[in-house]
Amino acid sequence: MTARIAASALLVMAAGVAEASIPVEVRDLSCLAKKENAAVVITLPAETKVSEGRLYFRREIHGDYYWTAFHPQQDGTAWAVFPRPDNENKSIEFYVDLLGEDGKSIALSAQKLAPVKDDCDVDMTGEQRSEGNKLTVGETTPDQRDKAVSWFLCDGVTQRIDVEGKRRTDDFCGIRPSPFPTQAQSDHGIVINPRPPRPVSPARPERPR
């Protein structure tokens, strides 16, 4: 069953590549740093109307993809920011999808990989770092709702966009901690139940879309 699903996902991605024939130039990203944001920079296709650009990403071969939006610049480039990888995230796979005015894919990059390292030197602009502190993350499956971005930290994630395109305040990462917690979040988003405090009396994702 798993092999059949994987084969179907490859066919869907191949069909998308055939439709989106415009190449996307993605600048090299040698690595990401653990617990730090990183940015991907692309060159927008000339004389092509792009309504939206998305950076799809996930921990390599783990689960479903998520996405963040690209921000176009006056020099013809655009950038998008990853959330912060957790300690168990060893490698990230990602690709770029550019959408036309009708909301359909018009340009698709090749799938790329970038290792997550302790000593990666992350080069980001002030604007990109600011984006990482108020990041909106898009979902590709309904199961991703009300959960952390798997294998990434909550830090900086403030909003989510569901599979129907509806934007909302992040319902998981945006929750303020209780003075008497009954839940805690592991680095990769699995909810656990820690031991409650002792009483005073002795008596927490082939191509999407």
In this structure, is residue 32 part of a structural domain? Answer: yes
Q: Is the pLDDT of residue 195 over 50?
A: no
The strand pair at 167-169 and 157-161 is best described as antiparallel
Per-residue confidence (pLDDT) for residue 175, from 0 to 100:
59
Q: Rounded mean pLDDT of 143-165? A: 96
Would you say 100 and 168 are in contact if contact means Cβ atoms under 8 Å apart? no
Burial class from Cβ neighbours inside 10 Å (0-12, 13-18, 19+) for residue 8 reads exposed
Per-residue confidence (pLDDT) for residue 21, from 0 to 100:
65
Q: Is the pLDDT of residue 172 over 80?
A: yes
Q: Could you give the maximum distance between any two Cα atoms of the chain, in Å? A: 74
Q: Measuring CA to CA, which residue among 108, 88, 90 is closest to residue 98?
A: 108
In this structure, is residue 177 part of a structural domain? Answer: yes
Q: Is the pLDDT of residue 75 over 70?
A: yes
In this prediction the pTM is: 0.76
Selected residue with higher pLDDT from 114 and 179: 114
In this structure, is residue 179 part of a structural domain? Answer: yes
The count of structural domains within the chain is: 1
In this structure, is residue 176 part of a structural domain? Answer: yes
Q: Is the pLDDT of residue 205 over 60?
A: no
Per-residue confidence (pLDDT) for residue 16, from 0 to 100:
42
Q: Is the pLDDT of residue 14 over 60?
A: no
Whole-number Å distance between alpha carbons of 107 and 97: 6
In this structure, is residue 202 part of a structural domain? Answer: no
Q: What are phi and psi of 14, to 5 degrees?
A: -60, -40
Q: Under the phi-then-psi rule, with left for phi > 0, alpha for psi from -120 to 50, and beta for the rest, what region is 109? A: beta
The range of the structural domain enclosing residue 46 comes to 2-192
Characterize 118-148 residue by residue with b for buried, 16 or more Cβ atoms within 10 angstroms of its Cβ, and e for exposed: eebeeebeeebeebbeebbbbbbeeebeebb
Per-residue confidence (pLDDT) for residue 23, from 0 to 100:
84
Q: Is the pLDDT of residue 5 over 50?
A: no
Q: Is the pLDDT of residue 100 over 80?
A: yes
Per-residue confidence (pLDDT) for residue 3, from 0 to 100:
40
In this structure, is residue 38 part of a structural domain? Answer: yes
Whole-number Å distance between alpha carbons of 25 and 181: 46
In this structure, is residue 111 part of a structural domain? Answer: yes
Whole-number Å distance between alpha carbons of 91 and 88: 9
Average pLDDT, the chain: 81
In this structure, is residue 199 part of a structural domain? Answer: no
The strand pair at 184-185 and 191-192 is best described as antiparallel
Q: State the CATH number of the domain containing residue 160.
A: 2.60.40.10
| Reported confidence tier of residue 22, pLDDT bands at 50, 70, 90 | confident
